[in-house]
Structure 1
Amino acid sequence: MDSLPTIDEVGAANLPDTIAAIEAPFEMPKFQKPVFADHTINIQEKGAKQKEKITEIIQKSIDDLSAIGGGKVIIPKGKWKTGRISLKSNINLHLEDGAELYFSGQLEDYRPAVFTRHEGVEVMSLGACIYAFNQENIAVTGRGTIYGPEEGPVRSQMMTENVTEKFVPIEKPVEDRIYEGYNNEPIFLPMLISPTNCKNVYIEGITLERTAFWNIVPVYCDGVIIRGVTVNSVGIPRGDGIDIESSRNVLIEYSTLNSGDDCFTMKAGRGEDGIRVDKPTENVVVRYCLAKKGHGAITIGSETAGTIRNLYIHDCVFDNTGVGIRFKTRRPRGGGGENLYYKRLRMNLHGTAFKWDMLGQPMYVGDMAKRKPVLEVNILTPTFRDIFIEDILVEKAKTFLKLYGIPESPMTNLQMKNIEVKKSDELFIVNDADQLVFNNINITSKDSLMVFLDARNISFKDAIFNVSGDTLKIKREGNLTENIYFKNTNIPFVHN
């Protein structure tokens, strides 16, 4: 474990100039930095002034350059105010060192409504502060800082009446699901950067502050590179760092996220609307990144309808994060996750190291959050399977592992090897799971209790447990619990 990356070797401060080749357990494209035409426009040369709102100047610069084949729109050093910006093909929006771009809190600066996806449901709403739709070869780069909307109707008129899938009438065509905030009607908070249905997206070097909602969210994109970005959104509810939403062929590297919610998150649509769209998130590599504060360092879900597959997380550090590796879904969310790989990670956590929550809370799904009764499997039943975790050092965590599956859809085929947990308060809970393998693990815990509820075909081989009383207490519950094996372990166990 001594060869695992340390905190001073990952994150935005260590961004290299070049993009190294990718080695993944599935096929990935070769990623290269984009090339743009030599044309440049500095907004200050077009009359932009720091105390005035300059949305029209920025947008016209983007439009004019895109019309002649593209180039770079430069935001120079200074404090600049703007409304929503829409990127166009072959444009690099470049924030120079010292540039600060502040987004308006007024609804009129984000109208008319644009096509977007809010928490996995398609709507027409504010979209994002930096938005793009059906564009190719676009970028946001530089050493500048982007600030989310200031206080105003954009934040105060956010929809709070219900969860999204119950609030939006999904039986209506998407073009009729309009939320623009007229007459004090609720709106959906804008993301900070969200290219939608775009190809070849490049985001590098920038810092994001004070978002109203999720920070960087590619939606329906193909070919995304995010590198060297810094996100600060601690204290902001739902202030996710980077959310990959039904997108494919994605590389995230050398980024530092300090988030008000989850840090690095993979999503693929919610419930019936997500099933209708049916677009997965697939072929994603996250490497050499730093997750600081946040609910979860690396999270799957809870929007999983299109399925998240072919994900490879390696050589990252989680420092003072909540949960380390987190899996979330709900009975009516659909899809799930498969072919998920995690390798060479260092964790210092105040929550659970490895956590599956497939039932959720009653506030979102009512009685469906209860284990029983077992429900009939249907198109909205999610599944997690084929998860591979190895070479992990957990320096501190509250709990080693919590796995809450769904009785009618147990989590299946988890393989963990070369895992060391130096300090944890609680040990192990598994509900509704099948085919779990733990090889070469070394766990130190104040607790000695291992709970198995309808858990079957689980093996521990070459396992060292440093627990209270030097004896494992095994609690078996449920008629389906069977085939729990221990081989080459250091201490005895008793049934509790």
Structure 2
Amino acid sequence: MKKIFVFAFLISSLLTAFSQEVPTSSQVGALKLPDTIAQVVAPFEMPKLVKPEFPDRTINIESVGAKQNKLCTNIIQKEINRLSSKGGGTVVVPAGQWLTGRLILKSNVNLHLEKDAELHFSGDIKDCLPVVFTRNEGIELYSLGAFIYANGATNIALTGQGKLVGPSRDCEIFKKQMEGVVIEKYISTPVEKRIFDGKDGKLVFLPMFFAPMNCKNVLVEGVTFEKTLFWNVVPQYCENVIIRGITVNSVGIFRSDGIDIDSSKNILIEYCTLDCGDDCFTLKSGRCEDGLRVNKPSENIIIRYCLAKRGGGSVTCGSETAGMIRNMYVHDCVFDGTKNGILFKTRRNRGGGGENLYYERIRLNIPGPAIKWDMLGSREYVGELADRLPVRSITPLTPSYKNIFMKDIIIENCDKFIRAIGIPETKISNVVIENCNVSSKALVEISDVDGFIVKNTQIKTKNSAMNIAGANNIIWDNVKITTKD
């Protein structure tokens, strides 16, 4: 494959000037949560989001018979249902350790965990039944759903300074999980027949921690999530969602994403601290034919003043992209220790893609690539579609990424500045990266892009080699590269 190099280096001294100060880790995250929500300013039209308000009715679960370390699912659920039927209010979990099965939030109810309250969830399948409508890795089905679930509710909240704790990994749910199967296998079966309830030898799909579906006006504020079995906070098909000041601790747990926005719109995520076993902030919109059938994008998303520690990726778009990911603005964040930095994933059979994605004033300190596109995947999951060549025909399942803009980025340490692996038939297009200070071991690896600009940037690297294939219109403008020992 002929390699095309179109770039210009500035040999003279270059000092990158940032339009505003890039924050440090001590300036962002849950410990810096303010009382009020500041005005949202975005490079696209964004509706004003306000916290849901609740009637002045409060029930403390201890006052209605709940006892510590004894299963109190029925007591808590009864009060949620009762308050909702009366117009709403707040169910309070006081300090102490409380054991419950799955809870279902209802309209106009706030589940509030006071300081030193710990809500521990049962790992027995029976405590998460009956099955509910849910979506797992982009495919609709019926299974356990989430430890805190909702469907079709309006004005719901999960708040407080308390902690939600998942069951141990030797629990029944974990032992009977569906694994080792590519989930696309179930697309040919009607949704109503995709039932995984753990009965009669059947397996289950792992429950998420908090996953409202088809809900409007959702607030998650202040709480801590620990020891999840799967993804943590996952709004699905939701609208008007505020997630602020939460902490996620799931390091060492496979597939334990922090926050996944799944086919939802009008989202504000701010002042969160995520320390995860998988991707931290993630955007998804459905998988393969099932995602195209649903056809709901994730759009109008703000992520600001957040801290990501360990995890697979800091901010990850994909790999489920069928309904499109668009209009996302990530700014004033610090990503300190995730395997990958700004990450874009999809596959030839996933459909959709991402567009109009903005990143500004970001600080990165990571062991892997700072900015990465992975659009081919591996043969383990998609077979020969992971092979770059031959060029395939474009179909409704061919994804693309375009219109991506980054500026004012400090990369204190990374393995590689840019690794962009596109798809030959739908090349990564219209990418602009500017005003960067970079310290990296290696420089760039790029294939299958069309329109890729890096400008006003200084780079210190141990290896200045560039590997570029199948690329057009690559421009390096006003860039200084210094080789370091």
TM-score under structure 2 normalisation? 0.95
Deviation (angstroms), 1:468: 5.8
Question: In structure 1, what is the equivalent of residue 199 of structure 2?
Answer: 182
* Cα distance in 2, alignment partners of residues 149 and 212 from structure 1: 7
* Cα distance in 2, alignment partners of residues 3 and 284 from structure 1: 22
Return the letter of the residue paired with 1:179.
F
Question: In structure 2, what is the equivalent of residue 474 of structure 1?
Answer: none
Q: Deviations over 1:95-133 (max 9, x none)?
A: 000000010010001111100000000000000000000
Question: In structure 1, what is the equivalent of residue 460 of structure 2?
Answer: 444
Return the letter of the residue paired with 1:153.
E
Question: In structure 2, what is the equivalent of residue 382 of structure 1?
Answer: 399
Give the SS at the match of 1:4: coil
* Cα distance in 2, alignment partners of residues 15 and 152 from structure 1: 35
Deviation (angstroms), 1:51: 2.5
Deviation (angstroms), 1:436: 0.7
The answer to whether the 8 Å contact 2:51/2:217 transfers is: no
Deviation (angstroms), 1:45: 0.5
Question: In structure 2, what is the equivalent of residue 82 of structure 1?
Answer: 100
Does residue 123 (structure 1) correspond to residue 141 (structure 2)? The answer is: yes
The answer to whether the 8 Å contact 2:460/2:484 transfers is: no
Question: In structure 1, what is the equivalent of residue 32 of structure 2?
Answer: 14
The answer to whether the 8 Å contact 1:149/1:155 transfers is: no
Return the letter of the residue paired with 1:77.
A
Return the letter of the residue paired with 2:277.
G
Please list every run of at least 4 consecutive aligned residues from structure 1 whose deviation after the TM superposition is greater than 4 angstroms: none
* Cα distance in 2, alignment partners of residues 219 and 5 from structure 1: 31
How many correspondences in the alignment? 466
Q: Deviations over 1:15-50 (max 9, x none)?
A: 000000000001111122221000111000010001
The answer to whether the 8 Å contact 1:448/1:468 transfers is: no
Question: In structure 2, what is the equivalent of residue 391 of structure 1?
Answer: 408
Question: Equivalent residues in 2 for 1:270-289 (5 A)?
Answer: 270-289=287-306
Question: Equivalent residues in 2 for 1:204-283 (5 A)?
Answer: 204-283=221-300
Structure 2: gaps spanning 5 or more residues: 1-17
Give the SS at the match of 2:448: strand
The answer to whether the 8 Å contact 2:311/2:339 transfers is: yes
Return the letter of the residue paired with 2:244.
R
* Cα distance in 2, alignment partners of residues 379 and 157 from structure 1: 35
Question: In structure 2, what is the equivalent of residue 410 of structure 1?
Answer: 427
Return the letter of the residue paired with 1:158.
Q
* Cα distance in 1, alignment partners of residues 193 and 129 from structure 2: 15
From 134, 154, 163, the counterpart of 1:136: 154
Identity of aligned residues (%): 55
* Cα distance in 1, alignment partners of residues 51 and 233 from structure 2: 19
* Cα distance in 2, alignment partners of residues 20 and 33 from structure 1: 12
> CA RMSD of the aligned region, Å?
1.0
Deviation (angstroms), 1:3: 1.6
Question: In structure 2, what is the equivalent of residue 424 of structure 1?
Answer: 440
From 158, 163, 179, the counterpart of 1:160: 179
Give the SS at the match of 2:425: coil
Give the SS at the match of 1:448: strand
From 40, 50, 74, the counterpart of 2:58: 40
Question: In structure 2, what is the equivalent of residue 26 of structure 1?
Answer: 44
Question: In structure 1, what is the equivalent of residue 4 of structure 2?
Answer: none
TM-score under structure 1 normalisation? 0.93
Range 317-326 or range 250-259, more displaced? 317-326
Return the letter of the residue paired with 1:434.
D
Question: In structure 1, what is the equivalent of residue 335 of structure 2?
Answer: 318
Does residue 72 (structure 1) correspond to residue 126 (structure 2)? The answer is: no
Give the SS at the match of 2:157: strand
* Cα distance in 2, alignment partners of residues 184 and 101 from structure 1: 30
Q: Deviations over 1:422-450 (max 9, x none)?
A: x2111101100000111101111100101
